[in-house]
Chain A
Amino acid sequence: MKGTEMEKDPVLSVRDLVVEIPTRHGILRPVDRVSYDIHAGEILGVVGESGAGKSMTGNAVIGLLDPPARITHGEILLSGQPIHNIKREALRKLRGKKMGMIFQDPLTSLNPLLTIGDQLTETILEHLDVGQAEAKERAIAALEEVGIPAARDRIGSYPHEFSGGMRQRVVIALALCAEPELIIADEPTTALDVSVQAQIVALLKRLCRERGVAVMLVTHDMGVIAEAADRVAVMYAGRLAELGPVREVITKARHPYTAGLMASTPMASQGAKRLRQIPGAMPRLGALPHGCAFHPRCDRATAECRADPPPRIDYCDGRAACWHPLPQKDTTKGEPA
């Protein structure tokens, strides 16, 4: 199975990462002891509700946390090299060249006053040792690769002259043009029409398989995860709830929250059944319950769950951060595996 090939080192290693934000009401932890690896050519989906901490992890990795948020604990290793504590200038050199990020809204991700050709060539020139003319050729090639028709003619166009789906393709081209090893995609399809979403997801998958790029795909849309990801990490209230291969997590969830998520997501395989809802809502970071963050909504909670937070997931082979994980059975069909 993909993901367990341990011959190569992972492209990205996040170990016990903690991000804190000091506020007037106390210190918040949008990312609390999160660990996972991503290997080359692999797509790790990071899923959770709004505010669960998935975007924050991405921001922390690429080094674009908005102050006063900061990393207070843990490590981030890019191809074995620590990047969580290096100087700003060194980090800047890695961005674009070794790791890239794409954001949710393609309209606001592109500078409206510069042509896309200009924005592409400047990125290429910054990281690759090529001349102006070759940079332009590469820019055109990048556009063609993401599926922009008549790339040579469109290179001088402005962002507003493209439709939403095309713009996101341009964004992907921009993120990939300096040939990074890791891409963090923060809700790349959320702002797009449903029909376009599938195209973009397919594009991302193809490019990453072809180039062997590791992808952290952050989203709240389980459908995208099911379609694109190899492994998935489920986040809840800043903590990692479950981590594992995508088919397994979806069909045989071990953490009660994940099981609840799956049961409340409409799936074609289930036919027309009533969707189950998890009672309550995810707690705000400033008002986290004692012990396991999920226990107030969990029907399997015990005194242990209320007292101590469950042990964190081991990045190698852990599955669920839960005192009483669900037994190994298929939760979608409601019968044992």
Chain B
Amino acid sequence: MLAYIIRRVFQSLLVLLVVGLVAFSMFSFVGDPVDNMLGQERTQADIERLRSDLGLDKPFVVQYWRFLEQAVQGNFGLSYRQGRPVSEILVERLPATLELAFVSGILALVGGIGLGIFTAIRKRGMAANTIMTLSLIGVSLPTFLIGVLLIYLFSVELGWLPSFGRGDVTRIGNWWTTGFLTDSGLKALILPAITLGLYQMTLIMRLVRTEMLEVLRTDYIRFARARGLRDRSVHFKHALKNTLVPVITITGLQLGSIIAFAIITETVFQWPGVGLLFINAIQFVDIPVMAAYLMMISVMFVGINLIVDLLYFAIDPRLRVDRSAGKTT
């Protein structure tokens, strides 16, 4: 098992290196950083000096290594658009995204698992069918469309909730800003959280339902019923545990897409998080920010995948058996 962990960690590092290469290549091939950083009035001497300062005259591999060195320390240079250090901007915007992702994640998990179990157990009822149909809508509609429609309904027509921004935020500690502590902050959180969480929730719900229906058809569930165990035991003790194992893996892997969809949600609601930052960076071809964002979420994705894999080990006892030990009679 240790060998497996080491192998996975190694694989993860490889992925990060490749992503780093892609991020770095963006610098080299897209636009001219010197061009972007110097103002209108510049001389050839300025250009040459900046080039050598930035190490742009060194071979590719050396530059790449320097890039990685700095990336690990969190230094990505200055944003082309804002002129400030990228790391500073990222850190400033991170709490907004994290809070949004957190709330919508909870919403998605609780709602998804709960509804999934319900529609699996009561699969022929009216309520289940209605929920399934609505869920189909949730899965089919693009996130931004849901967001726009929600805004139209709740902000424009009804005027209950704000349509953009984060509301008032309070500063905690050194760098964290939270919207939980103010009324307007909480109100501003509602629509974006629903938008971001809806897709995830319907996905989780359908996944839980499918898995549970599959599990309920297995022989060991039949055997449990044949032994006269109560429905409650059968559903929650036997079926649920087996259902959740694949659900956890897939949900964990979905965390990555929450981050991607956060980009969309933040754009719809002009939510000042790192997602909106990334989109603006693309529109303005602000390479340092793009590269930094890329590296940051790669670390997140790779980390999450690794954790999910290890979690799998903890839950499924079958995987814990060392293959070389052989079977007992």
Contacts and interface: CB of A to CB of B under 8 A. Distances in A.
Direct contact of A and B (CB under 8 A): yes
Interface of A: 62, 64, 92-97, 100-103, 105, 108-114, 122-123, 126-127, 158, 160-163, 166, 171, 174-175, 178
B130 interface: no
Interface in B213-247: 218-220, 222-231, 233, 237-238, 241-242, 245
B30 to A, nearest CB: 50
A218 to B, nearest CB: 14
A109 B219 contact: yes
Nearest to A154: B328
A117 B37 CA distance: 70
Interface of B: 218-220, 222-231, 233, 237-238, 241-242, 245, 315-318, 321, 327-329
Q: What are the 3 closest A-B residue pairs judged by CB atoms, nearest first?
A: A96-B228, A95-B228, A108-B219
Contact of B329 (A92, A97, A123, A166): A166
A333 B87 CA distance: 94
B14 to A, nearest CB: 32
A126 B228 contact: yes
A96 B327 CA distance: 30
B228 A127 contact: yes
A163 B233 CA distance: 27
Given A103-B222, A111-B224, A111-B238, A158 B229 contact: no
Nearest to A127: B228
B274 to A, nearest CB: 39
Contact of B223 (A97, A110, A113, A122): A110
B298 to A, nearest CB: 33
Nearest to B316: A113
A60 to B, nearest CB: 13
Nearest to A123: B227
B50 to A, nearest CB: 62
A79 to B, nearest CB: 16
B222 A93 contact: no
A240 B11 CA distance: 62
A96 B328 contact: no
A100 B222 CA distance: 11
A95 B318 contact: no
Contacts of A96: 226-229
A181 to B, nearest CB: 13
Given A113-B317, A161-B328, A178 B223 contact: no
Contact of B222 (A64, A113, A122): A64
Nearest to B219: A108
A337 to B, nearest CB: 42
Contacts of B315: 113
A126 B230 contact: yes
B318 A111 contact: no
B219 A95 contact: no
Given A112-B318, A158-B318, A161-B328, A174 B238 contact: no
B219 A113 contact: no
B238 A64 contact: no
A109 B221 CA distance: 8
A92 B223 contact: no
Contact of B225 (A64, A93, A175): A64
B228 A92 contact: yes
Contact of A103 (B223, B237, B245): B223
Contacts of B328: 161-163
Nearest to B325: A161
Contact of A163 (B230, B316, B318, B327): B327
